[in-house]
Amino acid sequence: MSTATGTAFENVGLTVLTEEEELFRASVREFAEGEVRPRVEAMEHASKLDADLIKQCFELGLMAVESPEEYGGAGSTIFNAIIAIEEIARVDASLSVFVDVHNTLVTNAFMRWGSDDLKKKYLTQMATSKVGAFALSEASSGSDAFALKTRAVDKGDHYELNGQKLWITNGNEAEIFIVFATIDPDAGYKGITAFIVEKGFEGFSVGKKEDKLGIRASSTTELILDGCKVPKENVLGEVGKGYKISIETLNEGRVGIGAQMLGIAQGAYEAALKYTQEREQFGQPIANFQAVQFQLAEMALEIEATRLLVYNAARLKDAGKPFLKEAAMAKLYSSRCAEAVSSKAIELFGGYGYVKDYPVEKFWRDSKIGAIYEGTSNMQLQTIAKLVMSGK
């Protein structure tokens, strides 16, 4: 699957794709329609991703979009990564976030902060077969991310980690985890350090899988670190600089979540548009009624506004320009759009929209997480307000 890079931000309209980007979108859509859609219902009922789909994601290069070619990746852009995330979410949000976290969080963190040896060892594996997960959240540290209590103790030739992580996406599938722990609780955020933990490390285990409202096939688990031994060379970046790694990695991750929410909204809209053209009342398709047309128009408007925000943030990131405010705006607005559009789609389906025989109720359930993970809506508003008030 080709993932050639696009042209510079200044030369491309926000929603205008290069020929290479169009081809990439078409290839991901073909995969989503041909391979993912037939499995969505079964994955939803099983609350588990299809193993064959996971394998195909690796084979098609969807798990190494930005990863450098020297490590087996495509060496492409975040823009192509969000195209993939958007197109998969248009069909299934669970597989979409699986691909998203692996690319925009884990691979991104390795690319920016990993030593040459760590990149060679782990990015190569993550490009071909091994899934990544990003473990920051805890029971006591959600929006207050640096209130974490997981402790790392220097044991001379290794660190020993003790604690519990919650809400970890890809927890069941992942074999490589970026785990944040503090080496000195009294140092506050300056004690936080990022560690690379393999699933087979002594003292590491995956706990329960959460029973969720939406994205049910995506595994969201707890991680248990009970005297987990981590080699000294598995510190990602510098000791005590984990706070910087988490903040800057999540900035890109928010663009990925924006793309996921965009895909959910697009999928719900397309289902509603098709249904209103088929459903007849009073002797004609309900799409003929102006009231219905206006609702579809409002949905299309919100989706296009969301696409502009998400694509703008991705183009800025690829151009090496500041994108923090734009990423926060994209994440905030897209979560609102996905929830509103999928809710309206349910109403347009009428009673059928409320039952699981039709797809739109799932889009709505999947949309709700967008206002919560990778920074709640209130935290995005705080970021935007801070930057607006500072004049940046």
- Other C-beta atoms lying within 10 Å of the C-beta of residue 73: 23
Longest CA–CA separation in the chain, Å: 79
**Cα–Cα distance between 157 and 164 in angstroms, integer?**
23
Catalytic one among 66, 160, 361, 374?
A: 374
Query: Position of tokens 């548009």?
Result: 273
- How is residue 71 written in tokens? 């490590």
Q: Which of 122, 106, 222, 226 is nearest to 172 (CA)?
A: 222
β-bridge mates for residue 164, sequence order: 224
C-alpha–C-alpha distance, residues 61 and 4, integer Å: 12
In sequence order, which residues have a C-beta less than 8 Å from that of residue 328 and are 6 or more positions away? 254, 375, 380, 383, 384, 387
Strand runs labelled E in the chain: 131-135, 151-154, 158-169, 174-182, 192-198, 204-209, 220-231, 235-236, 280-281, 284-285
Three-state DSSP state, 44: helix
Contacts of 392 (CB under 8 A, 6+ apart): 322, 325
Contact between 137 and 168 (Cβ < 8 Å): yes
> CA-CA distances (angstroms) from residue 111 to 24, 230, 325?
22, 20, 22
Concerning whether 202 is annotated as a catalytic residue, the answer is no
Count of beta carbons in the 10 Å neighbourhood of residue 307: 21
Whether 227 contacts 74, CB under 8 Å: no
Q: Would you state the structure tokens that stand for residue 287, as one six-digit string?
A: 């799409």
For residues 98 and 169, what is the distance between their CA atoms, to the nearest angstrom?
Answer: 7
Q: Give the residue numbers marked as catalytic.
A: 374
